[in-house]
Structure 1
Amino acid sequence: MKRPLVTGLALGGLALLALAAWVAVRSARYISAEVHPPRQPVERPPEDAVFAGLRDVAFQDRGGLQLKGWYLPPKDGALVILVHGLSGNRTQLLPEARFLAQAGYGLVLFDLGAHGESGGTVSTYGDREAAQVVAAVDFAASQPEVDAKRIGALGFSLGGYSVLKAAAEDARLKAVVVEAAAVAPAQALQDELGHWGPVGLWPALGVMKRAGVDVNAVRPARDMAALEGRPVLLVAGSEDPWVPDAALETLLRQGQGPWEKWLVPGAGHGDYLRVSPDAYPRRVLSFFSRFL
């Protein structure tokens, strides 16, 4: 074999190895940032008339993890638990909290584990977080101002997975709004990294295994089926690259409602209130007014 050919093959092999190494490192770092999300500071909202009476609270899930949040008593007994997305904290859903509070709903906003001011170091795609939502239900149901038969929840992205799984496990959640959470995390992982083959997936799975995360534990279609007969509003942006309409339709085929779907025109992954400042509050408030 001629020396230039040998050299070319050797350089090509080194280039492939370098590419594989780059993909593996990128995959591991990407998933590590999801499993161990950076914390964002929690800033209390201004003390205005809407949030008058908002107070700091802390409660624990059944595994002993301490969760920090805010509680606003309801005006007529009905309460909504608000659950933020990955790398966010309770402040992420303050705009939703404001229009819900203006309508008289009580609120529990809290930081999921490994976020904000809550304990924990690992985020689990909604698996352990579902138990944290149940802990928020426990807290809300224990408050004298709350009608325990009128508790609902709204969750965005990670919070949406968490709320859906929690509702499947706890019938005290009477109505839930699930935003930007339809594709099973295992499928999302495959879609995001699977095109690189094993060199893209194995490092990510290794990060999850070391952190104790089971990516197959969260299955939205299974959880939706468990909610047959309970109200669910599925929300996603029409331009959201991670939540296709087909995934929402898959959830709706799991049983009978009252279930609704709303694709927010022009919205991406979130930003529903910015894109639809009138329709979004109206749709959410109409849903909760009918079912809580």
Structure 2
Amino acid sequence: MLSIVEWILLIIVMVAVLGFYLIWQITVKAQHPRIVRNEQPPQVPLEEVSWESGGETIRGWLLTHPEDGQAPPVPVIVVAHGWGSNRSRILRYALPLHEAGFTVLTYDARSHGESGPAKALTGLTFRDDLLAALEWIRSRADLDAERIGVLGHSVGGFGSVLALDVGAPIRALVTDAMPVRFDTMVEAELRRKGMPAFPLAKLIGAVMLLRSGISRRFLNHSAPARILADNELGAKVPVLLIHSRRDTFIPPSELEHVAAKVPNVKHLFVEPEGHSVSEQDPAFWREVLPFFQTHLRTKRRLAASAASPGESI
């Protein structure tokens, strides 16, 4: 027979195993957002397009201007959605950019919309899906691979910054409502599911990294503040960071964190209330459209002084 001490140890082990199992299952669910199907395609000229990323099919829309007579190759802006979204939900960005004369590519990241699944979604999968989109653009003779802009919302913006760190051929980058700290992303997902941040955030965060094969060292090295600081020193890619001061899902302190570490980064705070509403502020388009027009409408790469990557607005 087991002694009292042995019974106590056995119960502790069983509780620990059960607790780990529950945390694992919660993490699996957290890394597989609810699939939101796309609405009807927008009523503009477009192509249904697809390519491969991580062995899965990525599906998207290429919004074009076949009637304008512009000689190819033409510049293109890629719009990357955030966690739990899809390509139709970010038409709020894509259609104004298309109306302004740009060819626009928008797509469903893996485990979103009509694209194939990912085993464990992370910022790296969003990065890799964007890199695959950029590679697909390079395969198109009618699209200019040297004039690619990217607009990334939330985790789509995070993945876009990670893409900068591996030399992605991005000519100009805009992020909106981007989380920049891992703990912020985990806590936001727990809030989305109505779960308490304490004590789950640290536990689930650790299991997320374990499932994804990401070390803490790599995670710390992939901090957007570090990447953007390196980008600014190299005067490589003009960047504009946008965040609403009234975003309670991904708080504006994320942009404040970057601005404190990279004081000259070009950024804009807007005022609409919510996480997916920045474009409703007139200031958003007053800055975004000229930003892309400046950096994408010329074949010549702008000098660092002309690009003004350090201007703060």
SS of residue paired to 1:233: strand
Listed one character per residue, the Cα deviations across residues 112-169 of structure 1 (whole Å, up to 9, x for unaligned) are 1111111123453311221110111111122222222110101111111111111222
Report the CA distance between 1:249 and its aligned residue. Answer: 3.6
Would you say 1:265 and 2:271 are equivalent positions?
yes
| Conservation of the 8 A alpha-carbon contact between 1:134 and 1:170 | no
Letter in 1 for 2:137: A
Matches within 5 A, 1:1-292: 31-47=27-43, 51-52=44-45, 54-61=46-53, 63-73=54-64, 76=70, 77-186=74-183, 188-189=185-186, 196-197=198-199, 201-203=202-204, 205-206=206-207, 209-210=210-211, 212=213, 217=219, 218-228=222-232, 229=235, 230-252=237-259, 254=261, 259-273=265-279, 275-276=280-281, 278-292=282-296
Identical amino acids, percent of aligned pairs: 27
Q: Counterparts of 1:29 and 1:268 in 2: how far apart (Å)? A: 29
Contact 1:176 1:231 in 2 (8 A): yes
Q: State how far apart, in whole Å, the 2-side matches of 1:66 and 1:168 are.
A: 24
Greater Cα offset, 261-270 or 245-254: 245-254
Contact 1:125 1:161 in 2 (8 A): no
Residues 173-218 of structure 1: per-residue CA shift (max 9 Å, x gap):
0111111114311454379789634x65325533553465667635
Unpaired runs of 5+ residues, structure 1, are 1-17
Query: Amino acid of the residue matched to residue 258 of structure 2?
Result: L
Residues of 2 paired with 1:98 and 1:200: CA distance? 37
Contact kept, 8 Å, 2:75 with 2:103, in 1: the verdict is yes
2:146 is paired with a residue whose SS is coil
Partner of 1:6: none
Say if 1:200 and 1:246 are closer, same or farther in 2 by CA, change over 3 A: closer
Q: Partners of 1:251 and 1:204 in 2: how far apart?
A: 21
Matched residue type, 1:71: L
3-state SS of 1:98 partner? helix
Q: Which amino acid aligns with 2:227?
A: D
TM-score (normalised: structure 2): 0.73
Please tell me whether the aligned partners of residues 176 and 278 of structure 2 are also in contact (alpha carbons under 8 angstroms): no
Counterpart amino acid of 1:184?
R
3-state SS in 1 of match to 2:150 = strand
**Please, what is the CA RMSD of the aligned residues?**
3.1
**TM-score w.r.t. structure 1 length?**
0.77
Alpha-carbon distance between aligned partners in 2 of 1:281 and 1:203, rounded to the nearest angstrom: 37
Whole-angstrom CA distance in 2 between matches of 1:195 and 1:55: 42
2:224–2:258 Cα contact (<8 Å) kept: yes
Gaps of at least 5 residues in structure 2 are 1-14, 297-313
Kindly indicate whether the alpha-carbon contact (under 8 Å) linking 2:249 and 2:274 is maintained by their aligned counterparts in 1. no
**Deviation (angstroms), 1:219:** 2.0
Contact 2:52–2:132 (Cα < 8 Å) also in 1: yes
Q: Distance in 2 between matches of 1:289 and 1:261?
A: 17
Which amino acid is the alignment partner of residue 116 of structure 2? G
Mapped contact 1:237–1:270 kept (Cα < 8 A): no
Q: 1:210 to 1:188 in 2, by over 3 A?
A: closer
Q: Specify the SS of the correspondent of 1:57.
A: strand
**1:37-82 Cα shifts (integer Å, max 9, x gaps):** 11111223243xxx21x01111113x43321111124665111001
